[in-house]
Amino acid sequence: MVVREKILDMVIRCFKRHGAKGLDTPAIELKDFDIAGQYDPMIPDAECLKIMYEILSGLQLGDFLIKVNDRRIVDGMFAVCGVPESKFRTICTSVDKLDKMSWKDVRQEMVAQKGLTPEVADRIGDYVQCHGGVSLVEQMFQDPRISHSKQALEGLKDLKLLFEYLTLFGIDDKISFDLSLARGLDYYTGVIYEAVLLQSPTQAGEEPLNVGSVAAGGRYDELVAMFDPSGQKVPCVGLSIGVERIFYIVEQKMKISGEKVRTTETQVFVATPQKNFLRERLKLISELWDAGIKAEMLYKNNPKLLAQLHYCENSGIPLVVIIGEQEQKEGVIKLRSVATREEETIKRENFVAEIQKRLSQS
């Protein structure tokens, strides 16, 4: 839970830094960022990609790449390659599988299952295996087939402008114009994008973690009108962060490095090695709570010390305050580091200040 909350907190802080306003639906607020309204081309689209870049950089998941394309380029490409308009969406879903399947297998699906002629499939293959930067955009302007599609040229014009803005943001080196990116959802109308990790944390000899994209989005200028009784169009562009996939990656990375996946934010555990010390533990934990320190103890009158220490190790709680007969008699407590198992004797009246000092240094 702690790891997931930290991921969500970073996402929310980034969204707010870019002027986001919260919605009544927490699931949407925590994962999605959308810009609605009539604005000049590619300015909000570029900001969405910048947000995606900031979040993925901040989470330190490893090297990543953001693929971009435009639905108008995809549809224009299909048209000039000879795909019947009635098959655009089904061929789109086949192209979308290129991040998981070879071109040979995708081509086989297009021909054998979806009824494309081999010649048409081969023309598509000439394009969907291309990826690059703004130079590829320029190249597509000169392409003998694509240059005959007004729809595709409009998309290329916007992508060229988008790359100009991304260069100003300093993130163009993380962006790839990828003609295999199709995003099969019907409601996309313009720029589409998807972020993928280039490497996942693995141990030697292990298979890389295959989690697919970790963030995605695009422009959907006609979706709002579908739900508006008046049919009013509201141009929109947005992105969605795959929080659960990111959590899985972070969790696996922590396990591989030997770091505990914490299930609690507790900073201090109050323990005792002896019976009949519940009241002393309650006094100590109350002082910690009053000082704003996250603390807990076992809800038992006489817990065994070993069980208490095992709980701290399993939960990743860094510090343990130990109180027993000898400590009570001397007016001290023992402060134990869970990681090193070292113990230090602290005066009872100074223990809160000492814990605050240690927590501020960690």
List, for residues 71-119, the tens digit of each pLDDT value.
999 999 999 999 999 999 999 999 989 988 999 999 999 999 999 999 9
Q: How many CA atoms lie within 13 A of 145 on its CB side?
A: 15
Report pLDDT for 167: 97
Over range 192-210, report the average pLDDT.
66
Asked whether 137 and 177 are in contact (CB, 8 A), the reply is: yes
Radius of gyration of the chain (CA): 28
Q: What pLDDT does residue 346 have?
A: 95
Residue 345 pairs in a beta bridge with 334
User: Is 304 in a helix, a strand, or coil?
Assistant: coil
pLDDT of residue 323: 97
pLDDT tens, residue by residue, 133-163 = 999 999 999 999 999 999 999 999 999 999 9
Calculated CA dihedral for residues 80, 83, 85, 86, nearest 10 degrees: 180
Alpha carbon 190 to its chain centroid, in Å, reads 23
* 3-state secondary structure at position 316: coil
Q: Which two tokens stand for residue 253?
A: 């990375």
Residue 86's identity, in one-letter code, is S
Quick one: the chain helix, strand, coil %, rounded to 5?
A: 50, 15, 35
The residues with which 215 forms a beta bridge, in sequence order, are 195, 241
* pTM: predicted TM-score of the whole model, two decimal places: 0.77
